[in-house]
Structure 1
Amino acid sequence: MPNLTEPSSSISCFASSSYLSNGSSVYHVPGGTAPSPSPPPAAPEGGTNLEVLSLSKLSSNLERLLLDTEFDCTDAEIVVEGAPVGVHRCILAARSLFFRDLFSREGSGGNRQEGKPRYVMNELVPGGRIGREAFMVFSSYLYTGKLRAAPQDVSICVDRFCAHDACRPAIAFAVELLYASSVCQIAELVSLLQRRLLNFVDKAMVEDVIPILQVASHSKLNQLLSHCVQRVARSDLDDIALEKELPQEVAEEIRLLRRESQPNESTATVDPMHEKRTKSIHRALDSDDVELVKLLLSESGVTLDDAYALHYAAAYCDSKVVAELLDLGSATVNLKNDRGYTPLHVAAMRREPAVIVSLLTKGASALETTADGQNAVRICRRLTRAKDYFTRTEQGQESNKNKICIDILEREMMRNPMAAEDSATSPLLADDLHMKLLYLENRVAFARLFFPAEAKLAMEIAHANTTSEFTGIAKSRSSSNLRDVDLNETPVVQNKRLRSRVDALSKTVELGRRYFPHCSQVLDKFLEDDLPDVFYLQKGSPDEQKTKKLRFCELKEDVRKAFSKDKAGSLLSGLSSSSSSSSPKSVEKHHKLARN
């Protein structure tokens, strides 16, 4: 799991800045081109360094004004996400013409709290959402002239195989900063963020380009807007999404580009009558009128599947409409649209728990994957911020919808006994077969370490001991780390061999989940948090070794408690005869063998 307390140089730092002697700043942008400021005036030897030092100290002192909670000398408040943030009007007015005009208007601070004018961020920036974290980074830039690193908990997703260089949280944070910078007329920051978002456009999924396109259109950033339009025009994003989510003129420009690039195909494949009837069904769904939908179906001859009505409802309609549409019983719940998405994939992108539950209740499969290998859980994870997933919900507080969606989908995958391969690697689904196999080998290896007899029995049932091993980091050092290479083995044969190993190990892990659920949770947490640090107890400094040993003692206690719970449960009835083999002493003994 990513460490949320330490910044990652590859994802969370939009730019670093250093002051020039003339008071301007030069920005170093990952993947971008730094602006070319005018050269500093000539200075005596050592003068430039002194000015840089002085400016850096001034920057730190000004930032302390913003962050210091012990001595509050702010003279105004800006409410962001329901919480006030103290600001100094003189600094904001000096840095931004927008704030200067705002504060100079007569009666601009009509709402007052303890004598301070109060402003609401949603009213200052009506075109887009500005979160508290983004506002604090933006404010820090106004005070110091330096752009702080993006907080990781709001700029990375919770898909552990994501590079976080173009996932939705990373994009959303940059978009929020750009909205604030554009509205407040901070030209140099707008230029910096526009270059950052240009780098996102080609890497991101087309759905994640939509927020970039929206802020580019709102802020009239023609270069960024043109790049987004070209990207969407080349994609398979359907016309309904264009109409629903983009400004009308932008959607029309994209349609025109598509017609110009494929003039014959666009006219040959469209049936005007079918399109008209489909739109009628969609309009009826927009009106929450399922009875009208039934009437249109009977009169037009178009089916719910023909109109992809369930996909449409899962994306844009109230959850009650989705449930009523499913009750008609005439829609194929796992039907894939032209983009290879099922209604559940669409619902996962929307992240509405009630819609997801309705679909699952009617037989939607959480195992179905898109053309690029993503299932509904992974779609949700790539859209969910670490803050929304890992923040503890207080009693009586409403839970985050994204987290609820992920939990629902993961429980569904674990509940389904046919979900062998996917539940074994969820949420660590990997596009690459070798990466998936490496995860499974390591997971089974650690299961054999902690629960040797139970793991052996599960492997025998799944016939995993009859397939050739794939080298993993937990493999015994007594055996060779290199498998004999068969030069006559074709890629097809190799993939078939690896796939059979994946299937056997997946079944092994599924058996473990079914009969030893608590023990499986211990393994999941171990692989997530401690691999490989705890495994190599003798590496590192004396303090690090001591910390690892303490963690291993905690792990042994977790193993003991988990096994006791599983042993007491009814699921152990068929495998209880092997329980004596997995005492903490047995685990420690095998751990010592693994280190030697």
Structure 2
Amino acid sequence: MAQLVITNLLFRLLRRGDAEIIVEGIPVCVHRCILAARSKFFYELFKREKGSVDKEGKPKYPMSELLPYGKVGYEAFLIFLSYTYSGKLKPFPMEVSTCVDNICVHDACRPAINFAVEMMYASSIFELPELVSLFQRRLLNFVGKAVAEDIIPILLAAFHCQLSQLLAQCVDRIVRSDLDTISIQKELPTEVAEEIRMLRLKSFPDDENTAVEVDPLREKRIKRIHKALDSDDVELVRLLLSESEITLDEANALHYAAAYCDPKVLSEVLSLGLADVNLRSSRGYTVLHIGAMRKEPSVIVSLLTKGACASDLTLDGRSAVSICRRLTRPKDYQAKTEQGKETNKDRICIDVLEGEMRRNPMAGDAFITSHTLSDDLHMKLLYLENRVAFARLLFPTEAKLAMDIANTETTSEFSGFCASKGSSGNLREVDLNETPVMRNKRLRPRMEALMKTVEMGQRYFPLCSEVLDKFMEDDLQDLFFLENGTKEEQRVKRMRFIELKDDVQKAFTRDKAEISRSGLCSSSSSSSFKDGVKYKLGKL
């Protein structure tokens, strides 16, 4: 009962204030006497400034004018107000403190970090020491879990709010990370960037992040290209390329333009045709991965138009669309588009990338309809292994040809983490000392070989592939074990298998006819197809 009374009182306080603070265009009613009593910042503010007055006589204070640095959003300010009035911290709203990636546990995704950072700015700037201590502990917890680029907003908050312990932890994490020097110099305060550079030189004198300083002339030429990009002067870029041996790829010019330049500049550089749009940086990021991190639709569309591969994965198994999902809040993704107003850019980026995945048969997420599975490297591998195995059963000659082209046999078959029956199992699959990055790097060749195998089948036998796509979405794995289950279940499986056989045979015949009309050599595996099916059915 007491809690209900407090809640009702807070609701009335929030609705009936004697002043308003405008946050993200939304007026929030506040009680100046309560804020002044709890916060020295507001005490000095209300004593010094009356604010602009509305027609009801309430003074207004734009949030943007109250903050010397950082950002405090609408939801974060409401949480802050609630604590100021009640002394209790409410749970964070899920729509602004989580991402839209279904497999994320939200313990270190960017929206979770950003909301905690907003709360830190509010606590520090508005001078509530107990909240500063609380959120410093929360942000310290993020530092050990987040990817390197997501440490940057935490470091900036620690720097501006003068939190020495948090700042030292962030600096140490970035020093030990593979975050490139350019990102550090562009996104961090000069003194912090210099501190990180000196610590890296002292701790890792031979590290690749500092090795570029061995050749100052090369470094100077790369910086000139980047400065030309910053000034939107693509003609100067062309001139610099003609006067030196540095190429756009060596300067990572596309990565730089995708991250920091106007989208039109990126488009002009792409039009030069002098750079590899799918080039990977030293961290394993393609240009499209960088564009996804920026969340600028025009950047993403420009890259896709020039042939960027949406299915490429980072070293830790993320695609461009999964990167976007991890950066996007449900509030932004689910926002309704009103007539005459712009659609949220976060939603557009995800829609564009997902559309490319569906359009391009080699895009990774097109293989799996469930968003829960789409970004899981191991589930993708299991799916692809099953798909290729089923193709080998139905048309072995074509499957073998596709596998030979993709060099699939040179990679180790992926069987998950369970040991095989009757054996000691594959110790590499259960190596507890193997980090996620190491494991994903080891499994990547198999993933790429299987994807290329499927691409060959889809390119030359599209109708068969469509049939396989349909059945892969319908509990296909049960068909590999026709002898399992009750008699009724076996009968249903047998009927489904025969149905698949007939559909694939018809599609196969149409594919062969299309190939013949195109003047290509026809396949000779019709008998192989029938023999494979007869062999499987004969075991029933």
State the TM-score bracket (shorter-chain normalisation). Answer: 0.7 to 0.9
Find the residue that maps to 1:345 and give its secondary structure: helix
Superposed CA RMSD in Å reads 4.0
Q: Does 281-290 or 119-128 show the bigger shift?
A: 119-128
Q: Quote the offset at 1:503 in angstroms.
A: 6.8
| CA distance in 2 between partners of 1:289 and 1:226 (Å) | 38
1:214 aligns with 2:214: no
User: Deviations for 1:392-439, whole angstroms, at most 9, x for unmatched residues?
Assistant: 222322111111111111111221123367642674334452x44677
One-letter amino acid of the structure 2 residue matched with residue 227 of structure 1: Q
Q: Quote the offset at 1:270 in angstroms.
A: 2.6
Q: How does 1:188-587 map to 2 (within 5 A)?
A: 188-264=130-206, 266=210, 270-419=214-363, 423-424=367-368, 427=371, 428-433=373-378, 435-436=379-380, 460=394, 485-487=421-423, 489-490=425-426, 515=466
TM-score if structure 1 supplies the norm length?
A: 0.66
| CA distance in 2 between partners of 1:386 and 1:410 (Å) | 17
Partner of 1:76: 19
Q: 1:193 to 1:244 in 2, by over 3 A?
A: same
Partner of 2:127: 185
Find the residue that maps to 1:253 and give its secondary structure: helix
Q: 1:419 to 1:267 in 2, by over 3 A?
A: closer
Q: Quote the offset at 1:61 in angstroms.
A: 4.8
Q: 1:103 to 1:399 in 2, by over 3 A?
A: same
Partner of 1:587: none
| CA distance in 1 between partners of 2:370 and 2:284 (Å) | 21
Find the residue that maps to 2:52 and give its secondary structure: coil
Q: 1:290 to 1:339 in 2, by over 3 A?
A: same
Partner of 1:158: 100
| CA distance in 1 between partners of 2:449 and 2:414 (Å) | 7
Find the residue that maps to 1:154 and give its secondary structure: helix
Q: Does 252-261 or 390-399 show the bigger shift?
A: 390-399
One-letter amino acid of the structure 2 residue matched with residue 148 of structure 1: K
1:103 aligns with 2:50: no
1:137/1:148 contact within 8 Å kept = yes
Q: 1:462 to 1:152 in 2, by over 3 A?
A: farther
1:159/1:382 contact within 8 Å kept = yes
| CA distance in 2 between partners of 1:210 and 1:234 (Å) | 14
TM-score if structure 2 supplies the norm length?
A: 0.73
| CA distance in 2 between partners of 1:493 and 1:58 (Å) | 57
Q: 1:314 to 1:459 in 2, by over 3 A?
A: farther
Q: 1:267 to 1:323 in 2, by over 3 A?
A: closer
Q: Quote the offset at 1:127 in angstroms.
A: 0.7
2:213/2:219 contact within 8 Å kept = no
Q: Quote the offset at 1:387 in angstroms.
A: 1.3
2:20/2:59 contact within 8 Å kept = yes
Partner of residue 114 from structure 2, selected from 169, 172, 196? 172
One-letter amino acid of the structure 1 residue matched with residue 239 of structure 2: L
| CA distance in 1 between partners of 2:362 and 2:50 (Å) | 63
Find the residue that maps to 1:297 and give its secondary structure: helix
1:290/1:324 contact within 8 Å kept = yes
Find the residue that maps to 1:84 and give its secondary structure: strand
Find the residue that maps to 2:102 and give its secondary structure: coil
| CA distance in 1 between partners of 2:452 and 2:224 (Å) | 49
User: Deviations for 1:179-236, whole angstroms, at most 9, x for unmatched residues?
Assistant: 0111000000111011011000010011111000001101001111111110111111
Answer 1 or 2: which has greater helix percent.
2
| CA distance in 2 between partners of 1:274 and 1:437 (Å) | 41
User: Deviations for 1:346-385, whole angstroms, at most 9, x for unmatched residues?
Assistant: 1110011101111111111111111111111111111111
Partner of 1:138: 80
| CA distance in 2 between partners of 1:191 and 1:415 (Å) | 49
User: Deviations for 1:427-462, whole angstroms, at most 9, x for unmatched residues?
Assistant: 4334452x44677899x9xxxxxxxxxxx9999579
* Seq. identity, %: 55
